[in-house]
Amino acid sequence: MHILVIGASGRVGSILTQKLLQADHTVVGTTRQEEPVFELSNYSQIKLDLTADQVNITRQFPDNLDAVYFTSGSRGKDLLQVDLHGAIKTMKAAEEKNVSKYIMLSTIFATQPEKWQGVLPENMYDYYVAKLYADEWLINQTSLDYTILQPGALKEEKGNGTIATQVEEPGENPIEDVAQTLVEVLQNPKASKKVITMHSGEKRIPEAIATL
């Protein structure tokens, strides 16, 4: 497949991109950096800033994409421009370029604000609001074949290859397992038009997605 990874330089985006490249997909990664994140024949890169205007973002999108991943984020520094408006601009670009599949890396319970009270630290609210409305736009305002993955805290540790999905309590996730789950939802139609909460668990990733 021909895949765009928005945020290929990030902690999740880089591991996701590496896995997609290993699976012989052709990947275009985005970053604002000049240096290539990967030097492989099936990888190319575009310098995309999510604060650019819609016309520019759409123009930078490659043609003939099969799927778009959104793994970018501002780490709280520019939530409106990057995590919310930036994300929505990429959804609009995907629709204009006739991409069918759009996979959003979101965060646990972003679309369940009734669960935020007493669980989120005060300084996380604005981030959650940005993710809530980006996710809701994807679900309600686009015709994209979306999957929204909502993991809890990301941990820089080796993956187990096993997860729990549609969880009701927040939990931790090795970044590698989140990246592998993002790969899995691309290839399994069971993930189509689903919002998937997750954390570490007991089920092998393919089985966890197949039994959604």
Ligand X SMILES: NC(=O)c1ccc[n+]([C@@H]2O[C@H](COP(=O)([O-])OP(=O)(O)OC[C@H]3O[C@@H](n4cnc5c(N)ncnc54)[C@H](OP(=O)(O)O)[C@@H]3O)[C@@H](O)[C@H]2O)c1
Please state the φ and ψ torsions of residue 148, each to the nearest 5 degrees. -115, 115
Residue nearest to ligand X (CB): 73
105 binds ligand X (CB under 6 A): yes
27 binds ligand X (CB under 6 A): no
CB of 8 to ligand X, least distance (A): 6
Beta strands in 11-61 (DSSP E): 26-31, 43-47
Q: Distance of CA 132 to CAs 44, 125, 137, 138, 182, Å?
A: 31, 10, 9, 10, 19
Instruction: Return d(Cα 18, Cα 43) in angstroms, integer.
Output: 9
107 binds ligand X (CB under 6 A): yes
12 binds ligand X (CB under 6 A): yes
| Identified binder of ligand X from the candidate list 18, 71, 90, 181, rule CB under 6 A | 71
- Quick one: 39 or 143, whose CB is closer to ligand X? 39
CB of 211 to ligand X, least distance (A): 23
Cβ distance 68 to 103 under 8 Å?
A: yes
Contact letters for ligand X, residues 34-63 (x by CB under 6 A): --------------xxxx------------
CB of 24 to ligand X, least distance (A): 23
Cβ distance 153 to 174 under 8 Å?
A: no
Near ligand X in 132-191, by CB under 6 A: 151, 153-154
Helix/strand/coil for 165: strand
- Quick one: 12 or 67, whose CB is closer to ligand X? 12
9 binds ligand X (CB under 6 A): yes
Q: What angle do CA 10, 14, 16 make, to 5 degrees?
A: 120
Determine if residue 26 is left, alpha or beta; phi over 0 gives left, psi from -120 to 50 gives alpha, anything else beta. beta
75 binds ligand X (CB under 6 A): yes
CB of 201 to ligand X, least distance (A): 16
17 binds ligand X (CB under 6 A): no
Q: Which residues pair with 197 in a beta bridge?
A: 150
200 binds ligand X (CB under 6 A): no
Cβ distance 138 to 102 under 8 Å?
A: yes
Residues that bind ligand X (CB under 6 A): 7, 9-13, 31-33, 48-51, 71-75, 82, 105, 107, 151, 153-154
